[in-house]
Structure 1
Amino acid sequence: MKATDTGESIAETVSGLIRQAVGDVADDTDLRMIEGVDSVKVLRVIAAVERTYDIELEDEEVFALKTIDDVVRSVRAAVEAQGL
């Protein structure tokens, strides 16, 4: 991740990674309710997002994530907490 990434850039990157894995879904779709998407797939996507931004989300937070919007908010908060 670049230090110049904006909130909008984070949203685009995160949603792109998720949509690559689960298909074209709305930002507020419950990822766990998508046919063919199980908890393992969701965890793999979250791991890819964490690697992309060199962050680590807390397990409780990860298991509470339901939508792309939720993931974007968590990533933004983690990135801001690191001062990136």
Structure 2
Amino acid sequence: MSANHEQIVAVVTEIVTGELGLAADSVAPSIDLRSIEGADSVKVLRIVSRIERHFDVELEDEDVFGISSVDDIALVVAKSLAPDPS
């Protein structure tokens, strides 16, 4: 699947707001997800799982543990979607 950064951000935002029960326009790409009320570790894992299924990727644990915003998630997804240079 090929997607640009803006497309990935849009999908990730939709998944995040859906899981957290928020309005779509209430989550900016740069907001720290850990600061959103109700964004506990279980919900974050569900968000990651839905993102992996949507984009048909498996995100590396070390990448997932380093994310804090929608933009961060989009960058990790884009990295996973990039063709292997080897």
- Give me the TM-score of the superposition, normalised by structure 1: 0.82
Corresponding position of 1:14: 12
Tell me if structure 2 keeps the 8 A contact 1:32–1:39.
no
What is the root-mean-square deviation in Å for CA atoms of aligned residues? 1.8
Q: Please, which runs of 5 or more residues in structure 1 have no aligned partner?
A: none
Give the paired residue count: 81
Q: Please, which runs of 5 or more residues in structure 2 have no aligned partner?
A: none
Q: Name the CA distance, whole Å, in 2 between partners of 1:4 and 1:39.
A: 29
Matched, 1:77 2:79: yes
Task: Report the Cα offset of residue 8 of structure 1.
Answer: 2.5
Corresponding position of 2:49: 47
Q: Name the CA distance, whole Å, in 1 between partners of 2:84 and 2:51.
A: 15
Matched-pair identity in %:
38
Q: Name the CA distance, whole Å, in 2 between partners of 1:10 and 1:18.
A: 12
Q: Deviations over 1:16-56 (max 9, x none)?
A: 11121222222111111211110110111011000111101
Which amino acid in structure 2 is aligned with residue 11 of structure 1? V
Q: What's the secondary structure of 2:31's corresponding residue?
A: coil
Which amino acid in structure 2 is aligned with residue 66 of structure 1? S
